[in-house]
């Protein structure tokens, strides 16, 4: 079985465009923010790395040699990863829409929420099974350990409640799926604003990874988020999963205001 790494140590790209621009990017274990003017290649770099990772896990699909990834530990051949897309465009795949049982799914963020609802259910089952195993193990500290196992879900719910408090929305904690309540009315996540959906998608994606080491890619996650949420985003992600490695692109100064200035890399600084 191929060994899975904890994070990516280095990204090398032989040719960013048509044989030009060699990229070497040494990554931080925690947060990596790629900055630069429009058209310099930020999204292209992310997309090439994501494609390389997808090829690595797709059976029978040889990886392109123009992208080389170095992992920690050094003998790993891939990493676990998630990709969050922030653009809330209408879904245009008619075949996909026809197959969906939920006709409320109308945009790309809706589709991500739809998939995350399923992952959230699986996550809860796994946490529940872990708690049962602890409580029946005879361990004198089983109760405390079981409470710790459920802590991340409660932390996620508290985060959402605080973020959405100005509009009176809060998570319905008795529900097995993501639902919200606003002034006594139950809301599906598909009824939220684009910014609220986007924040929910990001935090849910982090939660369902169950605090395991993995890499989170985000391309301009500040889109649709007001400045206060932009400032909090990286800190909230790392509170929810301290083992995540974040790799993102941004144009927003607010994204780095809470102590992440040293995590910024200009595309021109890694171009040879």
Answer yes or no: are the C-beta atoms of 114 and 105 closer than 8 Å. Answer: yes
| In-domain check, residue 15 | yes
| In-domain check, residue 4 | yes
Boundary-marking domain end, from 188, 206, 224: 206
In this structure, the answer to whether residues 52 and 136 fall within a common structural domain is no
Least confident of 38-52, 152-166, 230-244: 38-52
What is the biggest distance separating any 2 CA atoms in the chain, rounded to whole angstroms? 62
Least confident of 69-78, 97-106, 161-170, 227-236: 97-106
CA-to-CA distance for 71 and 10, rounded, in angstroms? Answer: 7
Give per-residue pLDDT as tens, 22-61.
899 999 999 999 998 887 788 889 999 999 999 876 655 5
In this structure, the answer to whether residues 175 and 239 fall within a common structural domain is no
In this structure, the answer to whether residues 142 and 242 fall within a common structural domain is no
| In-domain check, residue 88 | no
Average pLDDT, the chain: 88
Confidence of residue 99 (pLDDT cuts 50, 70, 90): very low
C-alpha distances in Å from residue 146, one per residue of 153, 175, 176, 203, 264: 12, 20, 19, 22, 38
Boundary-marking domain end, from 206, 235, 252: 206
pLDDT value at residue 63: 59
Domain residue limits at 45: 1-80+212-272
Answer yes or no: are the C-beta atoms of 40 and 95 closer than 8 Å. Answer: no
Answer yes or no: are the C-beta atoms of 131 and 149 closer than 8 Å. Answer: yes
Whether the pLDDT of residue 176 is over 80: the answer is: yes
Q: How many domains is the chain built from?
A: 2
In this structure, the answer to whether residues 54 and 30 fall within a common structural domain is yes
| In-domain check, residue 85 | no
Boundary-marking domain end, from 164, 179, 206: 206
Could you tell me which residues are beta bridge partners of residue 71? 8
In this structure, the answer to whether residues 51 and 122 fall within a common structural domain is no
Q: Which CATH number do you get for residue 226?
A: 3.40.50.300
CA-to-CA distance for 164 and 52, rounded, in angstroms? Answer: 37
In this structure, the answer to whether residues 174 and 100 fall within a common structural domain is yes
Least confident of 83-92, 203-212, 227-236: 83-92
| In-domain check, residue 269 | yes
Tell me the whole-structure pTM to 2 decimals. Answer: 0.90
| In-domain check, residue 122 | yes
Answer yes or no: are the C-beta atoms of 71 and 9 closer than 8 Å. Answer: yes
| In-domain check, residue 45 | yes
In this structure, the answer to whether residues 178 and 263 fall within a common structural domain is no
In this structure, the answer to whether residues 200 and 223 fall within a common structural domain is no
| In-domain check, residue 271 | yes
């Amino acid at each position: 079985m191929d060994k899975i790494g904890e994070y990516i140590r280095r990204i090398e790209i032989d040719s960013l465009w048509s044989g030009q621009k060699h990229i070497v990017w040494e990554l931080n274990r925690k947060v990596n923010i790629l900055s630069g003017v429009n058209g310099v290649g930020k999204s292209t770099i992310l997309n090439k790395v994501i494609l390389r990772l997808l090829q690595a896990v797709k059976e029978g699909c040889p990886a392109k040699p123009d992208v080389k990834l170095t992992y920690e530990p050094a003998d790993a051949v891939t990493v676990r990863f998630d990709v969050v897309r922030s653009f809330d465009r209408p879904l245009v795949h008619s075949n996909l829409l026809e197959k969906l049982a939920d006709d409320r799914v109308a945009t790309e963020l809706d589709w991500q929420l739809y998939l995350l609802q399923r992952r959230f259910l699986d996550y809860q089952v796994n946490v529940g099974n872990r708690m049962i195993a602890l409580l029946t193990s005879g361990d004198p500290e089983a109760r405390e350990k079981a409470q710790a196992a459920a802590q991340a879900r409660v932390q996620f719910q508290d985060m959402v409640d605080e973020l959405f408090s100005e509009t009176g929305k809060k998570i319905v904690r008795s529900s097995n799926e993501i639902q919200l309540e606003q002034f006594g009315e139950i809301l599906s996540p598909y009824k939220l604003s684009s910014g609220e959906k986007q924040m929910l998608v990001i935090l849910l994606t982090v939660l369902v990874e169950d605090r395991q080491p993995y890499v989170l890619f985000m391309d301009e996650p500040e889109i649709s988020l007001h400045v206060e949420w932009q400032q909090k985003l990286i800190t909230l992600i790392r509170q929810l999963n301290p083992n995540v490695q974040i790799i993102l692109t941004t144009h927003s100064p607010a994204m780095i205001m809470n102590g992440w200035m040293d995590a910024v890399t200009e595309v021109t600084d890694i171009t040879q």
